[in-house]
Amino acid sequence: MLLTRQDMPTIPVEARQIFREGKWTDRTSGLCLGFTNAAIAIMPRDQAFDFLLFCQRNPKPCPLLEVLDPGDPIVSDLAPGADIRTDVARYRVMVKGEVVDEPSDLTQHWRDDLVTFLMGCSGTFEAALEGAGIVPRWRQGEETGSGIYLTNIPTTPAGIFHGPLVVTMRPIPNHQVSRAVQVSSRFPGHHGAPIHIGDPAALGIDDMSKSEWAVGPKLLPGEVPVFWACGVTLQTLVRESKPDLMITHYPSRMFITDIPAEEQAVM
């Protein structure tokens, strides 16, 4: 029997137990509020050097929080004892850039040469913005969340990995733009400061009412579009680079860690 959002526990270790039992495969936003969420990428050891190098060169879209040893599925720092094969609500398995499976359990796909990367996520970051009084309209009743857009900005390639940057867009009232920069700068492990403020066309975004992933809220008078690097960059990276095998979380099903979000802030 699947659980409802109201039934879900607020403690990460308990929520992960529910995921492990296959009782929750839905979006994780809003679950265990206040705890650091992480994106995951799992791949064979022989691709892992290139990917580690890619993350080093592109810390804005791919901010590394933890990397497990080859073959080790047990998380150490972010959620001691959690099993990355079972403790995410749903996964996406891609072979040569094509989706081949979207299971709720990775046990059958696991291999002794797989390396797991855990990366920051804007979940952490949005809570901090809200704490600073920058409350998105979707939390005030509007339907639309952040926009997610493909840009014409290339990431810095590394080995087999290359592809364009994907960004999120949040409309921020003029007088709060500085504050949004300050607050997000405190979270370099969760995409950090905006990469661009003000002009979608400069990023190659010609029409913000169109998106492959999510169309953002319309800009109101007195709002500026503010763009942050986005973890969805990983999906375009896989599509363009076609690595032999790449496993990620299913979009919007994040790994929920034991670390309070504020512990991730640098100042």
Binding-site ranges for its own copies (CB under 8 A): 45, 48-49, 52-53, 55-57, 64, 67, 69, 158-159, 182, 185, 188, 266-267
Of 48 and 259, which has the nearer Cβ to its own copies? 48
- Minimum CB separation of residue 55 from its own copies in Å reads 8
Of 70 and 164, which has the nearer Cβ to its own copies? 70
- Minimum CB separation of residue 247 from its own copies in Å reads 19
- Minimum CB separation of residue 49 from its own copies in Å reads 4
Secondary structure of residue 184 in the 3-state scheme: helix
- Minimum CB separation of residue 78 from its own copies in Å reads 12
Of 59 and 164, which has the nearer Cβ to its own copies? 59
DSSP labels for 68-127? PPTT--B--SSSTT-BTTTSSS-EEEEETTEEEE--S--GGG--TTEEEEEE--HHHHHH
Cα end-to-end distance, the chain, whole Å: 43
User: E strand or H helix at 165, and its extent?
Assistant: strand 164-173
Cβ-count burial 45-62 (b if 16+ within 10 Å, e if not): eebbebbbebbeebbbbb
Of 116 and 124, which has the nearer Cβ to its own copies? 116
